[in-house]
């Protein structure tokens, strides 16, 4: 690691320096020579240099001007630098050589937002190996009925097969964060786990179901604008007891519930979840 670079707290910078964990990430990504790679927040390039050695091209998104200058010193024609905020980019315009493998040590403060970028642009991204705060990774991989099961679990698992790769202790970073991290592997599914009539509507229903975790579906789903009778009818048509809570529903049950609510009303404008 470059000992002359002073990390910037405002960017949430924690640079991975232990080679063992770098190798774990690279092995999970399993980059082929003909593949394109996307990296968000390359930092000092601990992963970038290895990715360049294995891929056809590597595109990085970096906000820190000082780190951009260091990346430019590599003068590698296969390295494409997108200078700016990864959340502000139009990913459809930027990602011009799909399918991509997305590899990143994500800043904790934007990791969930980047996950939604992945979901919204999954046609461009075949697989991903991403590092998160350990508790976020637990939510992504959680099973129904567990404490960690939530919105991220349902949405990520509906479109990607996910599995944890390795837990990385705080001491493997400089400066060390306050918590451990986890690497999660994502492999895009050819199609969603279960048929979904309207993906945006499905997302709204999932968010509503988890909006108040202690409340039953009969109560928490009211924020969607549907009547109690409509909610109960959609639940019962999918063999779901409306007195259950959202965290107990499987992916199949969420898909069925959303699809039935979708056809119960002709005015989706009433759904404000």
Q: What is the per-residue pLDDT across 34-77, written as a single tens digit (0 to 9) for each?
A: 999 999 999 888 999 999 999 999 999 999 999 999 999 988 99
Instruction: Tell me which residue range forms the domain holding 160.
Output: 9-188
Q: Which of 168, 188, 208 represents a domain boundary (last residue)?
A: 188
pTM for the model stands at: 0.91
Q: Is 56 helix (H, G, I), strand (E, B) or coil?
A: coil
Number of structural domains, the chain?
2
246 and 183 housed in the same domain: no
Q: Is the pLDDT of residue 15 over 90?
A: no
133 and 230 housed in the same domain: no
Provide the strand spans (E) within 87-215: 100-105, 125-133, 160-168, 173-174, 181-188
232 and 175 housed in the same domain: no
174 and 262 housed in the same domain: no
Q: What angle do CA 222, 227, 232 make, to 5 degrees?
A: 90
How far, CA to CA in Å, does 115 sit from each of 26, 81, 184, 207, 271?
20, 21, 12, 15, 24
Kindly report, residue by residue over 251-272, the tens digit of the pLDDT: 999 999 999 999 986 554 444 4
78 and 213 housed in the same domain: no
- Our measurement of the distance from residue 201's CA atom to the centroid of its chain's CA atoms, rounded to an integer in Å, reads 19
Task: Report the mean per-residue pLDDT for the chain.
Answer: 92
Kindly report, residue by residue over 228-248, the tens digit of the pLDDT: 999 999 999 999 999 999 999
């Amino acid at each position: 690691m470059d000992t002359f670079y002073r990390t910037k707290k405002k960017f949430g910078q924690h640079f991975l320096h232990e080679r063992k964990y770098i190798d774990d990430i690279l092995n999970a990504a399993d980059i082929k020579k003909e593949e394109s790679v996307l990296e968000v927040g390359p930092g000092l390039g601990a992963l970038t240099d290895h990715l360049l050695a294995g891929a056809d091209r590597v595109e990085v998104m970096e906000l820190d001007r000082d780190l951009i200058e260091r990346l430019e010193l590599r003068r590698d024609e296969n390295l494409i630098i997108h200078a700016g905020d990864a959340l502000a980019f139009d990913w459809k315009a930027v990602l011009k050589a799909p399918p991509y493998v997305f590899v990143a040590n994500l800043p904790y403060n934007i990791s969930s937002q980047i996950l939604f970028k992945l979901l919204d642009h999954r046609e461009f991204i075949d697989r991903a190996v991403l590092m998160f705060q350990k508790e976020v990774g637990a939510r992504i991989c959680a099973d129904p009925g567990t404490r960690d099961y939530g919105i991220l679990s349902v949405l990520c698992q509906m479109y990607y097969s996910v599995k944890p790769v390795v837990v990385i202790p705080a001491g493997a970073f400089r400066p060390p964060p306050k918590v451990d991290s986890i690497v999660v592997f994502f492999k895009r599914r050819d199609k969603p786990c279960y048929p979904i009539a309207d993906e945006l509507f499905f997302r709204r229903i999932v968010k509503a179901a988890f909006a108040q975790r202690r409340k039953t579906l009969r109560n928490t789903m009211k924020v969607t604008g549907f009547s109690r009778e409509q909610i109960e009818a959609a639940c019962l048509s999918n063999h779901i007891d409306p007195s259950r809570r959202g965290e107990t529903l499987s992916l199949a049950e969420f898909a069925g519930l959303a699809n039935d609510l979708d056809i119960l009303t002709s005015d989706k404008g009433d759904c404000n979840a």
